[in-house]
Structure 1
Amino acid sequence: MPPDAAERPPDGGPRRNRRGARRQSGRRRAALAVAAVALAAGLVTWAVGALGSLELNTIDARFQIRPDPGRPHDVALVGIDNATVTRYGRPPLPRRLDAQVIARIHAAGARVIASDLQFVGRTDPRDDQALEQAISSARPMALATQETDNGPNPVFDGHPPVAQLGAKLAAIGIPTDSDGKIRRYFYAPVELPTLAVRAAELATGRRVSQHGFPNNKAWVDYLGPPGTVPTYSFADVLAGRFAPDAFRGRVVVLGITTPIAQDIVQTPVTTTPMPGPELQATAIHTVLHHFPLRSVPGWVDVAVIVLAGLISPLVSLRGSLGLTVLALLATLAAIAVGAQLSFDAGRIVTASYPALAALVGGAGSAVAEFYAERRERRRVRELFSRFVPAEVVDQVIERTDEDLRLGGVRRECTALFCDLRGFTTFSEAQDPQRLVEIVNVYMSEMGAAILAHGGTLVSYMGDGIMALFGAPLEQSDHADRALGAARDMIGEALPRFNAWLAEQGLDHQFRMGIGLNSGQVMSGNVGSENRLEYTAMGDTVNTASRVEGLTKNADTQLLVTDATRGALSDPPADLEFVDEYPVRGRQAHVRLWTLPAAR
């Protein structure tokens, strides 16, 4: 008997369909609500940049995970390092030394020299003249300067003009993120192009388009930690201690690398500070390679956020709580892997906002699914507890599938059939309402006795009951349980029922018939998609039903087959042999037994 039979109309199907439709409709409403909240959380926070710091941290992680791009071959750095300071003193150094280094770099075949050193004001006239001649000889050069709202600070106090020396001024302002790290750089802090832009233009002879700088900023494509850019000591270059091809064809940055000058920056690739001139060299490499690292268009970020927020709610429509959680974990993994692969290919896709949408969608779907399953399990528990013993309800539910169906099994069981003698004649004299009340009292008494011994109420058939011991849960003592239930039904439940009839003023004392048979039984849910019933089938069940019918012409209310007696772990001493009876459908007679109390 299906667990919901007591509350289903005769045809069963429409109500089951309505109940299933209500559950699915509830799932759709919950999924829609969760999806809306997830998308709102992801898109609104993305629009206002609420997770900006977290997003930057994910970009740092991507830099650190990315395969090593290798050392650049188009830029180099000559730095005033600790060795130079030890030999020549703290910067600024005499300009004649700067001039000599510029001359050596130019003579070594440098493509362009970009000076991160700022030659502000005048010093020793002979030193200044030497530097001016070196700059003019090494033309074109990019010379760094600070730019304010009033314009760039002049080099050499403006005399001679930089253009006359064949050089170009370049700004050195660099944007710093909220955590103090430098991940992007300007096209122009005010109006003057930055050193990276100017050096790239001089190296290529082409103007760098501002299209590569959305909102005046572009990502620095860091190639690695400090020291990745080939770096040479100012003192070594001055002394000629470098390979002949060290600077050939390269853009060479000239700057201060010693930490005492505090020209160092924090980068996303490592916690070790990077010298400012190396950052400039890295930015020049980025421009020369046409901005290898770019943000994807905003609509791509929006699409990723929407997709991430919808996956778990959609899965929850068809899946279980476990599948919903699995979908969430898979979505988060896909976001992380996808963001990294995209980064490795040179495109930055947002990761924290899709992750937020996925977490809200997944957690919301999981919570909704959890409470939906909890409500459904509570409902099913209440239903099952009417037909199987309360202590095994959980075990029965665990064996059902997502539609709460019990799969077919074949096992050793004992089947019990019973009904009231003379009930049909008795019922003809009762009004319907009264009759239903009597049947309910009778079924309650008998059902309680069956459940008390671990039996399963398979079906009610008018005043008859079919019960099974040993299914859906295995019971090695199924025969003992069935005989114990029959003994209580006849010895206790039936007398209580007859006493109740007397209290109701009904002068009728019922007898009943019970048949028990043991053997192989096939049990499970059978029926169509619209109507399923838990039932038991097989020769064992048929024989039990026919043995119960034999009690009508016997002088006992209980007949137990020899198969059930043989299945008893310890046959009771009061079990009496009755006789051998022919049973329809079986060639041999069946040996039957009973209890004295059943006569």
Structure 2
Amino acid sequence: MAGERARLRRVLFLVVGLALTGAVLGAYAGGVLRQLEDDAVDARFAVRGAQPAPRNVAVVEVDDVTFDELDEQWPFPRSMHGRVIDRISADGPSAIAYDVQFTEPTEESEDNALIDAVARAGNVILAASEVDPRGGTNVFGGGSVLSDVGARAGNTTLPPDQGGVLRRLPFATDGLTSFAVAAAEVAQGRPVLERSFPAEGALIDYRGGAGTLRSVSFSDVHDGKVPRGFFRDKLVVVGASAATLQDNHPTPMARDELMGGPEIEANAAWTVLTGLPLRDVPGWLDVALIVLMGMACPLLGLRLRPGWLIAAAVGLGALYVLAAQLAFGEGLIVVFTYPLVALALGAVGALGMHYMTAAFERQRTREIFSRFVPEKVVEEVLDRADGLRLGGERRECTVMFTDLRGFTTFSEKNDPDRVIEVLNRYLAEMSDAIMDQGGTLTAYLGDGIMALFGAPIPEEDHADRALAAARDMVGPRLERFNEWLLAEGFPEEFRMGVGLNTGPVMVGNVGSEKRLEYTALGDTCNTSSRLESMTKGSGHSVFLAEATRDALVRPHEAVLVYVDELAVRGRENAVKVWSLGVPGQAPLDGDAAPLDASAARERHRELDPTL
């Protein structure tokens, strides 16, 4: 019987794994997660980060500086373009890719000036986006003009993915070789093989975000301000990057930071010049990876307990992400989203099978044991120590106690609904101050609050966080609360007291299995509570023990005022007490009486940043 149950369990795990993996393969075949897959490629670009700017590519940008310096409106006179081509050509570039369309005639002298400059250069590629059925263009009026001047045209159309992101470069569009491919062919002096391009286009290997490639302003080239030799042996792309000319697009490197069209074309041309360094792995390998990841958890689930299975799934996922990034660094793009989805579904399916078979086993155990022992004993046999346990640990923390002065009198004079509304407003304001500093609210004590800093999550700067919360509470938060009271028609203006103490405490869940609370116990808590009580009538809103002051680890804007060495009920030794204040100013609780005669001996002292 045991062998049959084990075989049935293996079959169930395998069936679940195969069914879920098959579903993911179907999604892969249908391209259901194409957008997520593209996003994963973008993420790998982001992780890789900007690469060194290539030395064989440069960009000339018609940017905002160009418009400011040339004081011309777009489109510029074609003689200006001719002059820029002459200046670039004189420096000996490998090719000049001019990403500006010249399909409509202008003044004859201007057109001839540009055509003559293109002819003198002999290595110019001109942009086109409208192509006739035979792959011809209307650049320079069409016909044989381009070939007569030794130039050629390239299609600047790049297929956008969802969101307008430009990721891939086709070999040709509408029968005309892509602009970047044509530029690379002229620059290297040999044709690029169409069969080297994937059917969906080659992934552009962007060197970084906008501004990564070496670039100069169009106006600097026009005016002869570019150092001699800057363009030598480089493929130079000229085009518009000014935002007003609307040739800026999102790229895998940064969707929010648009990249100018000429820099995109320059990245694409560099990709072709370097032999298309990023390539998708064969489809069969993608399928194998999906199957491997999809079946991993169902197979591991036959051996591992649920907790270890989850850890194994997370580990496998992390390893796959790392492997995909390393492969990307070597120029290989492996399928990313589908294997991880298959892994997650396989893990969920395996866990589901674990719990289902465990439930069956539990029921079977119940049926067997109930024949021999009482039901109560059966439950004890079945129940494990997996539930919520009582327990505690010792931690070094800063404990805060607060109290709202005069609230009891206020509550006696007002309707219960209004009292609760005011109390909730106050508690919400102060709770936010505590939680903004990473504190833990352990209890509401009427209009008082008990909070911990440094537990349950240890924090090295727990004292700093507590002090920052206290300053926020007695300062901006209390002022905002009092302003709200005035706007609601209450004449009262509340003050509050805060006590802080730092030291070892016992923290943990206390109560019963039906109701538990996370709290802290110990002398540190008692002293904090006493300090809060002692602020009443002292002229101060905050008392902190010297232990809290000594535990501060970073500089504060606060000025600490030494109050005195005070006797605290419940402690044998007196406690050195500090408060918040500013030298030369009255205490925060200005209408209160001094603590005692020793208050005259207060020593103002700014917080030492080295503590």
Q: TM-score, normalised by structure 1?
A: 0.61
Select between 59-68 and 46-55 the one with higher mean Cα deviation. 59-68
Query: 2:574 matched to which residue of 1?
Result: none
The answer to whether the aligner puts 1:232 opposite 2:216 as a matched pair is yes
- Per-residue Cα deviation, 1:371-401 (whole angstroms, up to 9, x for no partner): 112222343355456677765666656789x
Q: Distance in 2 between matches of 1:39 and 1:333?
A: 19
Query: 1:113 matched to which residue of 2?
Result: 96
Q: Distance in 2 between matches of 1:384 and 1:91?
A: 90
Match of 2:176, SS state, is coil
Q: Distance in 2 between matches of 1:383 and 1:398?
A: 16
Match of 1:223 among 207, 228, 233: 207
Check 1:338–1:120 CA distance in 2 against 1; reply closer, same or farther (3 A cut).
Answer: same
The answer to whether the aligner puts 1:255 opposite 2:258 as a matched pair is no
Match of 1:317 among 285, 292, 302: 302
- Per-residue Cα deviation, 1:153-192 (whole angstroms, up to 9, x for no partner): 3222137611111111111111111222111011111111
Q: Distance in 2 between matches of 1:49 and 1:344?
A: 25
- Per-residue Cα deviation, 1:170-220 (whole angstroms, up to 9, x for no partner): 111111112221110111111110111101111111110112221151111
Match of 2:365 among 371, 380, 384: 380
Counterparts of residues 437-586 of structure 1 (less than 5 Å) = none
Query: 2:22 matched to which residue of 1?
Result: 40
The answer to whether the aligner puts 1:73 opposite 2:58 as a matched pair is no
Select between 187-196 and 337-346 the one with higher mean Cα deviation. 337-346
Query: 1:200 matched to which residue of 2?
Result: 184
The answer to whether the aligner puts 1:58 opposite 2:40 as a matched pair is yes
Query: 2:315 matched to which residue of 1?
Result: 330
Match of 2:72 among 89, 102, 107: 89
Query: 1:362 matched to which residue of 2?
Result: 347
Larger radius of gyration: 1
Match of 1:124 among 99, 104, 107: 107
- Per-residue Cα deviation, 1:251-287 (whole angstroms, up to 9, x for no partner): 0001111110101111111021111111100000000
Q: Distance in 1 between matches of 2:193 and 2:292?
A: 34
Check 1:23–1:140 CA distance in 2 against 1; reply closer, same or farther (3 A cut).
Answer: same
Q: Distance in 2 between matches of 1:63 and 1:381?
A: 56
Query: 1:284 matched to which residue of 2?
Result: 269
Query: 2:388 matched to which residue of 1?
Result: none
Check 1:282–1:331 CA distance in 2 against 1; reply closer, same or farther (3 A cut).
Answer: same
Q: Distance in 2 between matches of 1:149 and 1:100?
A: 30
Structure 2: which amino acid aligns with 1:177?
A: D
Select between 321-330 and 259-268 the one with higher mean Cα deviation. 321-330
User: Offset at 1:135?
Assistant: 0.8
C-alpha contact (below 8 Å) 1:309/1:360 kept by paired residues: yes
C-alpha contact (below 8 Å) 1:315/1:323 kept by paired residues: no
C-alpha contact (below 8 Å) 2:136/2:142 kept by paired residues: no
Q: Distance in 2 between matches of 1:160 and 1:210?
A: 25
RMSD of aligned C-alpha atoms? 2.0
Structure 2: which amino acid aligns with 1:84?
A: T
Query: 2:533 matched to which residue of 1?
Result: none
- Per-residue Cα deviation, 1:17-48 (whole angstroms, up to 9, x for no partner): x22x1221121111121111122112100001
User: Offset at 1:240?
Assistant: 1.4
Structure 2: which amino acid aligns with 1:152?
A: G
Match of 1:148, SS state, is coil
Query: 2:12 matched to which residue of 1?
Result: 30
Match of 1:142, SS state, is strand
Q: Distance in 1 between matches of 2:73 and 2:4?
A: 81
Match of 1:134, SS state, is helix
User: Offset at 1:328?
Assistant: 2.1
Q: Distance in 1 between matches of 2:384 and 2:356?
A: 20
Q: Distance in 2 between matches of 1:157 and 1:137?
A: 19
Structure 2: which amino acid aligns with 1:114?
A: A
Match of 1:73, SS state, is coil
Aligned residues: 382
Match of 2:149 among 165, 186, 205: 165
Structure 2: which amino acid aligns with 1:32?
A: L
Q: Distance in 2 between matches of 1:317 and 1:43?
A: 23
Query: 1:349 matched to which residue of 2?
Result: 334
Match of 1:155 among 139, 146, 154: 139
Structure 2: which amino acid aligns with 1:247?
A: F
Check 1:139–1:394 CA distance in 2 against 1; reply closer, same or farther (3 A cut).
Answer: farther
Structure 2: which amino acid aligns with 1:291?
A: L
- Per-residue Cα deviation, 1:486-514 (whole angstroms, up to 9, x for no partner): xxxxxxxxxxxxxxxxxxxxxxxxxxxxx
C-alpha contact (below 8 Å) 1:145/1:155 kept by paired residues: yes
C-alpha contact (below 8 Å) 2:94/2:188 kept by paired residues: no
- Per-residue Cα deviation, 1:286-314 (whole angstroms, up to 9, x for no partner): 00010011111101100100101110011
C-alpha contact (below 8 Å) 2:94/2:123 kept by paired residues: no
Structure 2: which amino acid aligns with 1:182?
A: L
Match of 2:328, SS state, is helix
Q: TM-score, normalised by structure 2?
A: 0.60
Q: Distance in 2 between matches of 1:112 and 1:398?
A: 78
Q: Distance in 1 between matches of 2:357 and 2:143?
A: 81
Gaps of 5+ in 1: 1-17, 401-599
Match of 1:113, SS state, is strand
Match of 1:101 among 84, 88, 96: 84
Query: 2:407 matched to which residue of 1?
Result: none
